[in-house]
Amino acid sequence: MGDYQRMKIPKPLQNLIDHLESLPGIGPKTAQRLAFNLLFFPEDNIKNFAKALLEIKTKLSLCETCKNITDSSICSICSDESKNHSLIAVVSSPLDVVALQKADFKGVYHVLHGVIDPLNGYGPEDIFIKELIFRIQDSTIDNFEIIMATNTSMEGESTALYIQKELKNISGKNIKVTRIARGLPVGGDIEFADNITLSQALSGRSEI
């Protein structure tokens, strides 16, 4: 900040630079370049941009069923009858839903909004695990496959393990819990794969 002061950037412009810089992955140089560019956008564009920003707070909420981002009480995926509602992918963020939708996943989702991460103060009660349990208990469906699609990081793995145990406690339902496969990414080189990925790719091998 002190550095900018010396450059005498007008206050309203500096304000915008600061807001842009607060975005993840946007550094001071990029924030500055973006702000100077925005200066020369047509006024209508800027007004609509500001409106779009405000509307993500006023028009969006979490789906009552799966906790994904939605502009209605039940999201478009949960209300899609062509989806297999007995197949639920449990993911940690709404961005994971976008990725799995692109991969043409046929089931529905449950968005945890985080992972269990005790070192950073996040316990099981801080993410939507309870809501997943209730959702399954209250469902009219009896046979479920729950795919744990959390990241393959340590926190993702332990979150998957924790939820798997919780799901086992549900009575009156037939629940199969699975984990997305770990292995070499498509197009990946064996030479450059790390030990753990490679050993999991080996143990997860399938007949061809």
Task: Give the interface with a copy of itself as residue ranges (CB under 8 A).
Answer: 3, 6-13, 15-16, 18-19, 22-26, 30, 32-39, 43, 45-57, 59-60, 69-71, 75-77, 80, 93-95, 98, 101-102
Q: Which element (helix H / strand E) includes 168?
A: helix 154-168
To a copy of itself, the closest distance from the beta carbon of 87 in angstroms equals 17
Burial (CB < 10 A; 0-12, 13-18, 19+), residue 30, is middle
Nearer to a copy of itself, 50 or 196 (CB): 50
Nearer to a copy of itself, 55 or 142 (CB): 55
To a copy of itself, the closest distance from the beta carbon of 100 in angstroms equals 10
- E strands, 105-202, are 107-111, 143-148, 174-179
Nearer to a copy of itself, 172 or 187 (CB): 187
Distance CA 200, CA 182 (A): 6
To a copy of itself, the closest distance from the beta carbon of 192 in angstroms equals 23
Q: Dihedral of the CA atoms 137, 140, 146, 151 (nearest 10)? A: -70
Structure tokens belonging to residue 170 = 């549900």
To a copy of itself, the closest distance from the beta carbon of 202 in angstroms equals 31
